[in-house]
Amino acid sequence: MSTPADTAALLARRARTLAPTYQLFYEQPLEIVRASGVWMYAADGRRYLDAYNNVPVVGHCHPQVVEALCRQARTLNTHTRYLAEQPLQLAEELLGTLLPESGRVIFTCTGSEANDLAVRISKAVTGGSGFIITEFAYHGATDLVAGLSPEDGNPLGPGVYTVAPPIGPQAAASFGARVRRCIERMQADGVRPAALLLDTIFSSEGVASDPRGFLADAVSAVRAAGGLFIADEVQPGFGRLGEAMWGFQRHGVTPDLITMGKPMGNGHPIAAVAGRADIFSEFAKGRRYFNTYGGNSVSCATALAVLAVIRSENLLENARRSGEYLRRGLCTLAERGGVIRDVRGAGLFIGVELGQNPASGLTGAAETRRVVNGLCRRGVLVGSTGRNGDVVKIRAPLTLEEQHADLLLEALAHTLRSAA
């Protein structure tokens, strides 16, 4: 059992050992000691419904994934400069879900590395240096992609242009037009477009999902100007949106490059860039890329097990069904209370935009912070997102069931009605 004294001791050790760049969730930080399925267990014995973490996509510590990891770790863990079955099988399975025609894969360890590499590739292959992202995008933490991640407070990198995000039906309908105007601005500055880089669920913007297909016009525009479309699937990928394995598939477009990460190893560090074979061939001319851990035996075996579980447990269908159930419940709450201004998302990636709450006297970001912390006290873990910080971010493991959604809805109803 953890006591407040233990928490204080951990906080003090953390301050003495980790850099002050580290941040903790929640007003009362949680010490988590184990997790299983949709549940996380704190040191004080309390359990929490995990409706936040998108990494454990098939549920925390899934036995089949852990078993694959351990079996391979006992046998062999080495890199891609020897021949091996695992990275080939993984690349084949991924490409089968991703690209209708011939594609290729490069494995990395993190989504940041994948986006960094995709951006490098797009510069090398197009000869361009201009990038279009949305205003509050997040694409990772290397120097290059930090310049493409205004959400983190970073200054924009050279050649980076932003467009307003497609939040809401009107902004979604005019998204292509905004991208076209942005390309014109870029060209007027003498900058040649390299790529349009988009998180296909617009997570950091506060979640933009509908209507399906709104990306198509923007993708046509960048291609017409000689640039590539890079789909950042680090957040929406691996079935999270229920209707498809990848976010771009909801929009009827095929990206030139696709990056993926977070859920790929259910917590094990593996990520990848996939894309058109001709793009990789062009990039490979005179250039090497080697990632020591990227595509190692254990990472690949783990990722293969994640794909197998997504299939065998029919998790896309579950994400679709549970997500729909949850969104219906959220919409009912919205009609009842008036605090909820909008419910967006697909599958188990849901954004709940909050407005004024008479019960708490708070609004927007302050109300959202109160709700996130209030849900935590009530045993449900969620986060917040969006430029204004007024969107509750819900991203449960894809194994979430209706009974878990009910717990979340009930805790949210209580929190919205309460003053604290």
Q: Provide, rounded to whole angstroms, the least separation between the CB of residue 7 and its own copies.
A: 7
Considering only 4, 5, 81, 100, the residue that binds its own copies (CB under 8 A) is: 81
Number of chain positions touching its own copies (CB under 8 A)? 95
Of 214-222, 242-250, 264-272, 332-340, the segment contacting its own copies by CB under 8 A is 264-272
Considering only 44, 47, 64, 66, the residue that binds its own copies (CB under 8 A) is: 66
Residue 83, Cβ density class (10 Å: 0-12 exposed, 13-18 middle, ≥19 buried): exposed
269 binds its own copies (CB under 8 A): yes
240's tokens? 């999270």
Which residue bears the tokens 């454990």? 56
Question: Are the beta carbons of 155 and 146 closer than 8 angstroms?
Answer: no
Considering only 92, 184, 189, 410, the residue that binds its own copies (CB under 8 A) is: 92
Closer Cβ to its own copies, 112 or 126, answer by number = 112
100 binds its own copies (CB under 8 A): no
82 binds its own copies (CB under 8 A): yes
DSSP single-letter state for residue 201: T
User: CA–CA separation, 203 vs 183, rounded Å?
Assistant: 23
Of 113-121, 174-182, 240-248, 351-359, the segment contacting its own copies by CB under 8 A is 113-121
Question: Are the beta carbons of 238 and 349 closer than 8 angstroms?
Answer: no
Nearest to 69 by CA among 395, 309, 234, 400: 309
Alpha-helical runs (H) found in 228-294: 277-284
Question: Are the beta carbons of 356 and 339 closer than 8 angstroms?
Answer: yes
Considering only 91, 125, 201, 315, the residue that binds its own copies (CB under 8 A) is: 91
386's tokens? 């969006």
27 binds its own copies (CB under 8 A): no
Closer Cβ to its own copies, 107 or 214, answer by number = 107
Q: Binding mask 37-56 vs its own copies (x if CB under 8 A, - otherwise)?
A: ---x------------x-xx
DSSP single-letter state for residue 150: G
Q: Within 10 Å of residue 296's Cβ, how many Cβ atoms?
A: 24
Closer Cβ to its own copies, 106 or 167, answer by number = 106
Q: What is the CA radius of gyration of the chain?
A: 21
288 binds its own copies (CB under 8 A): yes
Closer Cβ to its own copies, 6 or 410, answer by number = 6
Q: Provide, rounded to whole angstroms, the least separation between the CB of residue 245 and its own copies.
A: 17
Q: Provide, rounded to whole angstroms, the least separation between the CB of residue 236 and its own copies.
A: 15
Alpha-helical runs (H) found in 194-347: 215-224, 277-284, 297-312, 315-337
DSSP single-letter state for residue 268: B
Please report, for residues 68, 123, 172, 260, 305, the alpha-carbon distance to residue 297 in angstroms, rounded to integers and kept in the order given. 11, 30, 42, 18, 12
Coil/strand/helix, residue 300 = helix
Considering only 51, 117, 241, 380, the residue that binds its own copies (CB under 8 A) is: 117
Nearest to 289 by CA among 133, 163, 109, 106: 106
Closer Cβ to its own copies, 59 or 239, answer by number = 59
119 binds its own copies (CB under 8 A): yes
Q: Binding mask 290-309 vs its own copies (x if CB under 8 A, - otherwise)?
A: xxxxxxx-xx----------
Coil/strand/helix, residue 46 = coil
Closer Cβ to its own copies, 112 or 360, answer by number = 112
Q: Within 10 Å of residue 383's Cβ, how many Cβ atoms?
A: 18
Q: Binding mask 132-171 vs its own copies (x if CB under 8 A, - otherwise)?
A: ---------xxxx-x-----xxx-----------------
Closer Cβ to its own copies, 92 or 406, answer by number = 92
116 binds its own copies (CB under 8 A): yes
Closer Cβ to its own copies, 14 or 311, answer by number = 14
Q: What is the DSSP string of 364-416?
A: HHHHHHHHHHHHHHTTEE-EEESTTS-EEEE---TT--HHHHHHHHHHHHHHH
Considering only 38, 60, 186, 412, the residue that binds its own copies (CB under 8 A) is: 60
359 binds its own copies (CB under 8 A): no
126 binds its own copies (CB under 8 A): no
